[in-house]
Structure 1
Amino acid sequence: MTDAILQARGLSKTFAGFSAVSNIDLDVERGSIHALIGPNGAGKTTVFNLLTRFITPSAGSIVYDGTDITRAKPTDIANRGMVRSFQISAIFPHLSVLDNVRVALQRHLGLSYHFWRSNKVLDSTNERAMALLKEVGLAEFAGTTAVELAYGRKRALEIATTLALDPKLMLLDEPTQGMSAEDVGKVTALIRQVAADRTILMVEHNLKVVSTLADKITVLNRGEILAEGPYAQVSKDPAVMEAYMGSAEVAHG
């Protein structure tokens, strides 16, 4: 028996007769880092969109933390603690780093859109906001305007704003995309750190990152599950090697 925080059964999505995702069964175990990988067009982002209800499944069911969320609204899912971080950095570029986290905390505390509230009320979030910035290594940049951050630090800020929503399950969409090797290393370490008491489901193209972080990997190809298991197992799977057009890419990322 496994303790799955997220389960999908028979998850499918058809667009105008085209099957983008077909009959996906997925178990994300509580406290684990689970990676979705696959070549371009494999259906990874579609699966993410289905799980977070940004698109509606054509068939199948989704259960999160014991509750059927197949027909739930994305906001309701987020309020239950299943929070998605987007592939394109979703921060307010012209607010300070601290204010970005304060805005996220206001939303979590039910103060959303109350920008007219007194500074005294909003300052109540400062201690928690600074603690989150310290957790992701951005405390010294609290007063910096977000647009001025280096790319890797912007992604760290995005993780901080996600953490502000107090997630039980974080869904990370290509968290290291477009990063330098140095930034990839920093964000990989950050993901490992924040996963200490949370569950993470991530779509990631960088197989070195996946091999370093993931407890379990689900390989998608053409909208179906091709293989599943730990990295050492799936990286040697002949079908996975073929899907990636060469074993070197799988074995070494």
Structure 2
Amino acid sequence: MHDKTSDTILETRQLTKSFKGFTAVNDVNLRVQRGSIHALIGPNGAGKTTCFNLLTKFLEPTQGQILFNGQDITREQPAQIARRGIIRSFQISAVFPHLSVLENVRVGLQRKLGTAYHFWKSERSLNQLNEQAHHLLTEVGLQDFARETTVNLPYGRKRALEIATTLAMEPELMLLDEPTQGMGHEDVDRVTQLIKKVAAGRTILMVEHNMGVVSNIAHTITVLQRGAVLAEGSYAEVSGNPAVMEAYMGTTDGQLQGAH
């Protein structure tokens, strides 16, 4: 049964992925609450990216289950997962560098409509796409950059465009992969506020290194270490957990710092 009334939008049960004797994801039970921002953190090699690859079906789990809206999606293909509304941002193909900012968003909208919709046949439908694209650009603060060639955008603005192209796919669950990686303070702040804004009425699961970002916007934080869940809870609960401090800092004294 397709259950959108439950508080849990995504659940994994004993999710495990082994590569030739190395267990990258080990018995992970994750519950993502509908309408929340849920962060996946942990030291390098903790299994965060592998976890994302399992959820979007770029990898098949060795064992365990993935449920979305109460339905078992463990054996589904990446395209089926995307059609269900699980959309991952910050993949390399998120934007086309030599198209304009507006055209990039339009491509996302066209992909959402699918090839059956011959958008080029009618000028009215193309205008409608342009309207939607402008609306999405306004949502991410890029309305003044619509005609700019994407390759010329500053780094942080490219990330905002990637969020816009992801929003064009109408995600029910948006997976953000290291959204502030490689950014200076100003861009980090801007993108953090943007994530907070677009999270309204959506669910976001994000992998993020920057503790400042996580503490600022995540409702729930799951800490992975060596592929297993080390701790889970609010930022206050997780950052005060001695096991988490040890995993990050090699020490149990002092707070969890903004470790990148």
Range of TM-score over shorter length: over 0.9
**Aligned: 1:82 with 2:81:** no
Residue 123 of structure 1 deviates from its aligned partner by 3.2
Higher mean alpha-carbon deviation, 80-89 vs 10-19, is at: 80-89
Letter in 1 for 2:34: R
User: Aligned match of 2:162 in 151, 158, 163?
Assistant: 158
Distance 2:255 2:19 in 1: 31
What TM-score comes out, normalization by structure 1 length? 0.95
Please tell me whether the aligned partners of residues 32 and 215 of structure 1 are also in contact (alpha carbons under 8 angstroms).
yes
RMSD: 1.9
Please tell me whether the aligned partners of residues 62 and 69 of structure 1 are also in contact (alpha carbons under 8 angstroms).
yes
Q: 1:179 to 1:252 in 2, by over 3 A?
A: closer
- The size of the alignment, in residue pairs, is 252
Please tell me whether the aligned partners of residues 96 and 150 of structure 2 are also in contact (alpha carbons under 8 angstroms).
yes
Letter in 1 for 2:256: V
Between the two proteins, what is the percent identity of the paired residues? 64
> How do 1:44-83 and structure 2 match up within 5 A?
44-83=48-87
Residue 187 of structure 1 deviates from its aligned partner by 0.2
Please tell me whether the aligned partners of residues 34 and 214 of structure 1 are also in contact (alpha carbons under 8 angstroms).
yes
> How do 1:1-253 and structure 2 match up within 5 A?
3-86=7-90, 88=92, 90-111=94-115, 117-118=120-121, 120=123, 121-245=125-249, 246=251, 248=254, 250-253=256-259
- Deviations 1:82-109 (CA, angstroms, capped at 9, x unpaired): 1001254721000000000000000111
Please tell me whether the aligned partners of residues 89 and 154 of structure 1 are also in contact (alpha carbons under 8 angstroms).
no
Distance 2:116 2:50 in 1: 29
Q: 1:72 to 1:102 in 2, by over 3 A?
A: same
Residue 52 of structure 1 deviates from its aligned partner by 1.0
Residue 67 of structure 1 deviates from its aligned partner by 1.5
Please tell me whether the aligned partners of residues 9 and 32 of structure 2 are also in contact (alpha carbons under 8 angstroms).
yes
Distance 1:114 1:147 in 2: 28
**DSSP-derived class of the 2:199 partner:** helix
Please tell me whether the aligned partners of residues 58 and 78 of structure 2 are also in contact (alpha carbons under 8 angstroms).
yes
